[in-house]
Amino acid sequence: MSFMDRHYFLLRRLHSLTGIVPIGVFLIAHLVTNSSLLWGKAGLRGEGEKYSFGADGVTLGEGGVAYFQKEVTWINEQVPHLLLIEITLWAAIAFHAVLGVYYARTGRSNTDRYAYQDNRRYAWQRISGYVGILFIFYHVATLRWGWSWLVPGGAVWSHDAATSTLAMALRGSESGWTGAGLVVSAFYFAGVSLLVFHFANGLWTAAVTWGLTVSARAQRRWGGVCLGLGVGLMAMAWSALFAAVTIDPREARAVEASLEQGRVVSPGE
């Protein structure tokens, strides 16, 4: 009997569990932080490099970029054992991904003949898993491990200039969209959308797997909760992405620079 077979049940359940803790919990926290970019986008004045920050008070947009920057700075400077947390997350994601692919390969989708909504979600859970693995790898490799050769325009994400370098990495250049930037942004859109679906749907199936929801009614009810959570997370993911690809990196850079000089501390000041 192989290792996989001897610990079959444990591995199956760990696969289910890791999808929720830590990965799902992290996803929620990550999207909450990133969606603050939307109000960063909302009020920037569109004056490019000429932007002089703080001259006539703090706008909503300045505040948004500043808020996001402070969140990122807090995570990078205040969260204890950050590297340990990251490595735990990466290990959990790798475990969930490797086993997930292994398990997914045991099934054969048949939505052409049985086009039920549940069956379609079964198929999409697997598709979203595959795309999600590629996306997370690209996302972490480029923005965390600094593999800038994979970034169009070669932007290197910096947690000291969180918004501007993110916007550059997504758009492909400082001044505007490039073709490659469009591809990357589209990949981000697909990646985050599919991952949010994967999490919400996985939360629904996990309740069946663990036997929390037994009756069809309970399964439907929990389905409503998962749908609500999914819609909320999707809204956050889309607003973060929308903001990140539309913020002018030069404007964001100006806000970040003034933050570095300590001139702006918090919105509404």
Partner 1 sequence: MLNFTPAAGAGSGAGGGSGAGGGNRARAVPGRTIRVRVKRCEGPGKASRWEVFAVKAEAGSNVISVLQQIASNPVTVEGERTTPVVWDSGCLEEVCGACTMVINGRVRQSCSCLIDEYAPGEGDEITLEPMSKFPVVRDLWVDRSRLFHNLSRVKAWVPIDGTYNLGPGPRETPAQQETRYALSECMSCGCCLEACPQFTLEEDPKAWGTSFIGAHAISQARLFNEHATGRALKGERLEALMGPGGVSDCGNAQNCVKVCPKHIPLTESIAAIGRAVTIHAVARWFRG
Q: How many CA atoms lie within 13 A of 58 on its CB side?
A: 20
**Contact indicator for 53, 265 with CB cutoff of 8 Å:** no
Binding site for partner 1 (CB under 8 A): 4-5, 8-10, 12-13, 103, 106-110, 112-114, 116, 118-119, 121-123, 125, 204-205, 208-216, 219
Q: Which is nearer to partner 1, 78 or 215 (CB)?
A: 215
CB of 100 to partner 1, least distance (A): 11
Across 139-174, b (16+ Cβ under 10 Å) vs e yields beebbeeeeeeebbbebebeeebbbbbbbbbbbbeb
Is 56 buried (19+), middle (13-18) or exposed (0-12) by CB count in 10 A?
Answer: exposed
Q: Which is nearer to partner 1, 59 or 119 (CB)?
A: 119
Q: Which is nearer to partner 1, 109 or 173 (CB)?
A: 109
CB of 201 to partner 1, least distance (A): 9
CB of 19 to partner 1, least distance (A): 13
Q: Which is nearer to partner 1, 215 or 261 (CB)?
A: 215
Distance, in Å, from the CA atom of 92 to the CA atom of 99, rounded to the nearest integer, reads 11
CB of 246 to partner 1, least distance (A): 38
